Amino acid sequence: MKASIEQAFGREIRKAREKLGRSQEGLAFDAEVHRTYIGMIERGQKSPTLGVILRLARALNLKPSELVRRAEARFEKSNPWI
């Protein structure tokens, strides 16, 4: 199934969040974004800005580039001919 880079990013955010046993609320608080925004990000319904990517990465103890690398790998895997 084809997925957008936003969907791939959202899946990786959810995976990293659940690995830490965090709720969407907890992540939203730490990253200083609205709780409903985390839900939209995780479902790939919003394209996060670089500033939001940085805050999410900090809240998840990851580098922004690592988050993007994971999303990119998932995205490439789901779009092998692009």
Site residues (vs its own copies, CB under 8 A): 4-6, 9, 47-54, 63-66, 68-69, 71-72
Least distance in Å: CB of 29 to its own copies? 20
Of 6 and 28, CB closest to its own copies = 6
Name the minimum Å distance from CB 52 to its own copies: 8
Residue with tokens 């830490």: 20
| Structure tokens belonging to residue 31 | 């990253």
63: CB partners within 8 A, 6+ apart: 57
- 27 or 48, CB closer to its own copies? 48
Tokens of 29: 């608080």
Q: How many residues does the chain have?
A: 82
Give the nearest distance from C-beta 21 to its own copies in angstroms. Answer: 25
> Of 23 and 65, which CB lies nearer to its own copies in the complex structure?
65
Handedness of CA 75, 49, 13, 4 (dihedral sign): negative
